[in-house]
Structure 1
Amino acid sequence: MTAAVPQRRVPVVVTGLGVLSALGRGPEPLLAAAAAGDAAFGAVGRFDVAARRTRRAAHLPGPAPRLAEALLDAIGDALGQSDSGTPPGGLLLALHSDTLTGAVVQEVTARARDRHGIDGTVRTYTGACVASSSALADAAAAIAFGRAERLVVAAGYLVEPDTFAVFDAGGALSRDGEVRPFSRDRRGLLLGDGVAAAVLESADSAHLRGATPLATLAGWGRSGDGHHVSRPDPEGTGLARAVTAALTRAGLRPDDIGYVNANAPGSVLGDVSEARALRTVFGDRLADLPVSSTKSVHGHALEASALLEFVLTVHALRSGRLPVNAGYLAPDAECPLNLVLTPTTVHPPSHALTLNAAFGGANTALLIGAA
């Protein structure tokens, strides 16, 4: 049997980012809050929560913006930063699946075509909390292997009553109104607004048109462990495989990673599983590796969380301002990590990881490199 010949890969770079979170529009308010550990959670005023056990979330004040408009704004911001001279070759959208999803996709697709000339591949991802990281990985793979030159990935979730009620009824929302990843006495997650967009393209394309890369998407990994419909694999084996795959694809070693933006939503079982996955991959190196979960500041944006965290990790990598693991109370012996607990600025690392996991045992790892 003849051995398969590896396909030539071209570097994938990030040339534009747009974001809207509970902290406002743009990455700087989000990074400033994360770097200071200033959580955005407050009383829900967008809809009635009197009958709910948990009554806090991270959302913009006032009524929710229209999701389609927020997505188009984020796409416009990302393309404006990218300064794309020619239209991207397609749009990949990650959205929460409900009765409005189809209408949002149709409106965003049509208006993105009219505004920005995006008239190529359109895909919609609704795969729970790894939807937007899956979209990023697919976009990067298409570019890396020459199937596309420039693509836009966008994702959005805005805190709304139906999902809030489901998570509250299931006991997933934090009863004390804070998110405390990897901490003793953590009580669960809180939802948050998140709308984001990223422009990915080949390094050659960016160079030819004089664009300034913000970062590289150096590697990506995905796994499905199928351990349980909602409970994580206790040993984190699936997530560890995803991280290893991302490192292998990038041609890097665990020692090359300078920061990890963890998935950790503040759940009792999930955070332990992730800590064990990190121990499997990094071993003794974990004692010196800075780790935090930015969900402790901006909340969980469900299908949009991975892209929101990707944007934040890119800017943390560029600035050296590491996000604080907010809400922390005391060590949990089952999560022995080097957590970022105070405002910390370091020499910008060369590489960082951002991790996500979802119900059903889906796991993703995105490996970001300095531009």
Structure 2
Amino acid sequence: MERKKIVVTGIGATSPLGGTAPDSWKALLAGESGISTLEHDWVAQHELPVTFAGQARVPAADVLERVEVKRLDPSSQFALIAAREAWADAGSPETDPVRILVDFATGIGGLWTLLDAWDTLREKGPRRVLPMTIPMIMPNAAAAAVSMALSARGGARTVVSACASSTESVANAYDHLQAGLADVVIAGGTEAVTHALPIAAFASMQALSRRNDDPARASRPYDVDRDGFVLSEGAAALVLETEEHALARGARIYAELAGGAVTSDSYHITAPDPEGSAAARAMRAALEQAGAKPEDVTHVNAHATSTPVGDIAEYKAMLRIFGDALDGIAVSATKAATGHLLGGTGALEAVFTVLALAERTAPPTINLDNQDPEIPLDVVTSPRPLGDGPLLAISNSFGFGGHNAVAAFRSYE
């Protein structure tokens, strides 16, 4: 069967860097940090060892209707904001609703709602637990909210694969469109777990940076002094469709989604395979689907969480695929600026990858003062032109449980 060309026609995001995709991108290029100290009573109340996070730059309550805020967990609120922006950016396609499909991911789901309901049950009894609790905590709530808001009746799917979740949704969108299941797919991911419990739990795992005195410089991918990731919140979305459908309606095209792939380590519940073999297979499979060779890649948006073991494992995986060609690839580690949005991070980085191709500019990696000699990548530290001609980029995401997901994007000529 002849492969269809899949294109990106809309993007949206609400992140620690900005309330929209353009604002987030502008702040990223400017070298800003979205990480700040948490000004909440519960930080001191619980004596949290980590007192900062990547908080959404624009609160969801400033964007949504009051009833939407009341009936949706913060994770679904962020999803709705990003999806609506992407849909409007795509020109609000007038497509048969049964040909519009949603594939929206999350890593954890409605955690705030769940824990607030538990507090209510313990303190006030079962009669005070809100009847909307279950629809708000279910992991598919974000996909459902987006589906209803955009009248998408071709399916509302939810991927839950930790930090690989939304890149897997993007890869799924490619398959959905190739299979003819839809003409338009809204793919993305969301997370809102900047709460005392996840912070305490991640800190207990020694996964979080503890630079409480310097939050903006805490996320330090590839730096010898990196000491963990920074927990963040937000969402991002992409509108994807076949080129034929996009051209027929006169849509503006950002880039081509050339391929996507998913593999699993089967190694450890939290630690990555130190040799990166399955992560490398995901990269290779995404490139094969794109009909591309490793030497065609000009840019990588790396997973690069700023953990001591994770950054090295990803480097080894890339080395397996690119070999000597890796020296000529511009690598950006954008979590240095955004922190780690868990299930929403892949979609946000996919948006950044699309914009990097559309504007032919690789975004900078901030906070890299002393690059780890064990990771000799060509890391972009200030906005870098990607040059003329066809461009190919990949965006990597790897999650707890050994989940690996990679999306490949090509510049649209």
TM-score range, shorter chain: over 0.9
Out of 208, 229, 237, which is 1:173 matched to? 208
Deviation, structure 1 residue 24: 1.9
Out of 94, 100, 107, which is 1:85 matched to? 94
Which residue does the alignment assign to 2:119? none
1:123 and 2:132 correspond: no
Cα distance change of structure 1 residues 79 and 63 upon mapping to structure 2, 3 Å threshold: closer
How many angstroms apart in 2 are the aligned matches of 1:361 and 1:112?
28
Q: Percent identity?
A: 32
8 Å CA contact 1:247, 1:253 repeated in 2 = yes
Deviations 1:151-187 (A, max 9, x none): 1113211242122221122211112241111111210
How many angstroms apart in 2 are the aligned matches of 1:365 and 1:279?
15
Deviates more, 1:153-162 or 1:302-311: 153-162
Which residue does the alignment assign to 1:244? 284
8 Å CA contact 1:46, 1:63 repeated in 2 = no
Deviations 1:43-94 (A, max 9, x none): 0125522312221111136866443333222211111111201245221121
User: What secondary structure sits across from 1:37 in the alignment?
Assistant: coil
Which AA in structure 2 matches 1:34?
A: L
Which residue does the alignment assign to 1:103? 136
User: What secondary structure sits across from 2:273 in the alignment?
Assistant: coil
Which residue does the alignment assign to 1:48? 42
Deviation, structure 1 residue 113: 5.0
User: What secondary structure sits across from 1:49 in the alignment?
Assistant: helix
Which residue does the alignment assign to 1:370? 411
Q: CA RMSD of the aligned region, Å?
A: 2.0
Deviates more, 1:204-213 or 1:342-351: 342-351
User: What secondary structure sits across from 1:48 in the alignment?
Assistant: helix
**Structure whose residues are more often helix by fraction:** 2
Provide TM-score, normalisation by structure 1: 0.92
Which AA in structure 2 matches 1:132?
A: S
Out of 177, 194, 203, which is 1:143 matched to? 177
User: What secondary structure sits across from 1:24 in the alignment?
Assistant: coil
Which AA in structure 1 matches 2:205?
A: G
Matched length = 365
Which AA in structure 1 matches 2:206?
A: G
8 Å CA contact 1:47, 1:160 repeated in 2 = no
Cα distance change of structure 1 residues 251 and 47 upon mapping to structure 2, 3 Å threshold: farther
8 Å CA contact 1:323, 1:340 repeated in 2 = yes
8 Å CA contact 2:17, 2:57 repeated in 1 = no
Provide TM-score, normalisation by structure 2: 0.83
Deviations 1:315-337 (A, max 9, x none): 11111232211111212121110
Deviation, structure 1 residue 204: 0.9
Cα distance change of structure 1 residues 299 and 154 upon mapping to structure 2, 3 Å threshold: same
Cα distance change of structure 1 residues 92 and 52 upon mapping to structure 2, 3 Å threshold: same
1:305 and 2:345 correspond: yes
Deviations 1:17-55 (A, max 9, x none): 111001222222222222232221110125522312221
User: What secondary structure sits across from 1:339 in the alignment?
Assistant: coil
Q: How does 1:254-293 map to 2 (within 5 A)?
A: 254-293=294-333
Q: Any unmatched runs of 5+ in structure 1?
A: 1-6
Q: Any unmatched runs of 5+ in structure 2?
A: 62-73, 115-132
Out of 333, 338, 346, which is 2:373 matched to? 333
Deviation, structure 1 residue 13: 0.8
How many angstroms apart in 2 are the aligned matches of 1:108 and 1:172?
27
Deviation, structure 1 residue 228: 1.0
Deviations 1:181-232 (A, max 9, x none): 1111210100112211111111111111111211111011211111111111
Which residue does the alignment assign to 1:73? 81
How many angstroms apart in 2 are the aligned matches of 1:254 and 1:63?
41
Cα distance change of structure 1 residues 122 and 228 upon mapping to structure 2, 3 Å threshold: same
Out of 368, 383, 393, which is 1:352 matched to? 393
8 Å CA contact 2:19, 2:56 repeated in 1 = no
How many angstroms apart in 2 are the aligned matches of 1:192 and 1:72?
18
